[in-house]
Amino acid sequence: MAWAGLADSPYRALADRYLPEGPGAVFTFGVSDRGEGGRAAGSAFIERLQLVSHLANVGDARTLVIHPASTTHQQLSDQAMVAGGLSPDMVRLSIGLEDVEDILWDLDQALTGTGGAT
């Protein structure tokens, strides 16, 4: 998981300095599908979501998710993505205003179906 608010984030000091009210609600993490990562695992996770919307923007009132390897960066090889700081199994989650329990339920059921987060 990557989030500037994590204690071991390489961006934590910058977040503390420039974002005094917190680093925000955008996270990235990788998913695996029964132990296998990659594009297929990211796509499978997205397809299993029921509440979270699959859109590329951030800062929306709705919780949004995107899998760059199958959308915005689909033209790149896995090696090119890794060289650019992305992984083929990475998803980006932007938390919205829905009830937190509803968001957690949706993420849990989608992750359970894919095998978990990395």
pLDDT score of 114: 58
Say if 8 falls within a structural domain.
no
CA distance 37 to 14: 30
pLDDT score of 71: 86
Q: Return the sign of the alpha-carbon dihedral for residues 53, 58, 102, 49.
A: positive
Q: Is the pLDDT of residue 118 over 80?
A: no
CATH value at residue 34: 3.90.1150.10
Q: Is the pLDDT of residue 60 over 90?
A: no
Domain of 75 in residue numbering reads as: 24-114
Say if 12 falls within a structural domain.
no
pLDDT score of 22: 92
* Cα-based distances in Å from 32 to 20, 70, 99, 111, 114: 34, 15, 26, 9, 6
Tell me what percent of the residues of the chain surpass a pLDDT of 90. Answer: 57
Angle at 103 between CA 92 and CA 49, to 5 degrees: 65
Tell me, yes or no, if the pTM score tops 0.85.
Answer: no
Q: Which two tokens stand for residue 47?
A: 């397809």
Residue that has been written with the tokens 């329990």 in this structure: 101
pLDDT score of 73: 87
